[in-house]
């Protein structure tokens, strides 16, 4: 059984998006907002309690308390207030208990286990918006750090040839399996794993909606797994981090083609240039 630190952070009068951005960069991967407090979760094995307090203090994040808790579905309470999301008037992300909306081109059903994979967060909604504009017909696609597999599911609905969705979190893995069945996209291959799972596999398009630190570490591996002319789409980082992401990508022969930001969260598209003959 995994043990997590539950960090309670007062947010009254604070810009929640900016607090979330800083926490995500630090490696927190679960969040729940209640009243004037934000609860953030990070696996105990990733950081020691003493250094965690110091790390948060160094990043100007005030902490009310830090508790140790066992692994569970962090967002169980949040699920009861889950609302559907409509993106660009074309994509709807909803729970099974919501009714579909007429005129929506891509209707995606997500069992709401994790708030960061239900399109409520700016990173996910921006990624979905960008994917909706892409021609995925027959493409090989990787959804790395897939969460709920919502990006992979949209790729499947848009005609991608083969899709691999990977996450190293057990909740995410199980939820992704469930969601692919809910959306009649059972051909999506879902794996519990990490970047080692893509060794000797190659893709036309890679989605990576994770966080800055993991992206910076994994960009070389994504670049190696991309076919020439392939696309790497990344999000989960702050707008101020784009230059660092761009520099790391350029060192791996990846060229920035487009980027967008919403509430300081950024999504960016990089292209692996064709090799010279």
> pLDDT tens track of the chain, all 277 residues?
678 888 998 876 555 666 776 787 788 877 777 767 888 888 887 777 678 888 888 877 888 888 888 766 555 555 555 688 999 999 999 988 889 999 999 999 998 765 455 556 788 999 999 999 999 999 999 999 998 899 999 999 999 999 999 998 887 899 899 999 999 999 999 999 999 999 999 999 999 998 888 999 999 999 999 999 999 999 988 899 999 999 999 999 999 999 999 888 899 999 998 765 4
Could you give the CA distance from residue 211 to residue 22 in angstroms, rounded to a whole number?
10
Cβ contact 123:265 at 8 Å: yes
Residue 43 has a pLDDT of 85
Strand residue runs (E) in the chain: 3-10, 30-34, 37-43, 65-70, 85-87, 91-94, 106-109, 140-144, 162-167, 189-192, 203-209, 226-238, 254-262, 265-272
Q: How many CB atoms lie within 10 A of CB 8?
A: 15
Model confidence, pTM: 0.76
Residue 18 has a pLDDT of 66
Cβ contact 107:139 at 8 Å: no
**Structural domains in the chain plus CATH codes:** 3-72 (3.30.70.980), 134-272 (3.40.50.150)
Phi/psi for 229 (5° steps) reads 85, 0
Six-digit token pair at 165?
């969705």
């Amino acid at each position: 059984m995994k043990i997590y630190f539950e960090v309670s952070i007062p947010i009254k009068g604070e810009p929640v998006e900016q607090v979330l951005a800083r926490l995500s960069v630090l490696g927190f991967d679960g969040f729940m907002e209640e009243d004037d407090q934000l609860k953030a979760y990070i696996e105990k094995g990733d950081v020691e309690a003493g250094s965690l307090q110091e790390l948060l203090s160094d990043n100007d994040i005030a902490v009310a308390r830090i508790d140790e808790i066992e692994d569970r579905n962090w967002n169980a309470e949040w699920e009861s207030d889950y609302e559907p999301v409509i993106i660009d008037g074309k994509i709807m992300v909803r729970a099974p208990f919501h009714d579909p909306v007429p005129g929506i081109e891509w209707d995606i059903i997500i069992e709401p286990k994790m708030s960061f994979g239900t399109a409520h967060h700016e990173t996910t909604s921006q990624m979905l918006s960008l994917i909706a504009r892409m021609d995925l017909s027959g493409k090989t696609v990787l959804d790395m750090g897939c969460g709920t597999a919502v990006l992979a599911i949209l790729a499947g609905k848009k005609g991608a040839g083969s899709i691999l969705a990977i996450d190293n979190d057990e909740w995410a893995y199980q939820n992704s399996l469930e969601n692919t069945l809910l959306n009649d996209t059972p051909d999506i291959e879902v794996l519990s794993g990490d970047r080692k799972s893509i060794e000797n596999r190659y893709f036309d398009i890679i989605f990576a909606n994770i966080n800055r630190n993991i992206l910076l570490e994994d960009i070389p591996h994504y670049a190696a797994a991309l076919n020439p002319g392939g696309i790497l789409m990344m999000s989960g980082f702050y707008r101020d981090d784009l230059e660092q992401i761009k520099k790391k990508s350029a060192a791996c022969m990846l060229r920035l083609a487009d980027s967008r930001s919403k509430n300081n969260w950024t999504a960016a598209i990089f292209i692996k240039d064709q090799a010279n003959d």
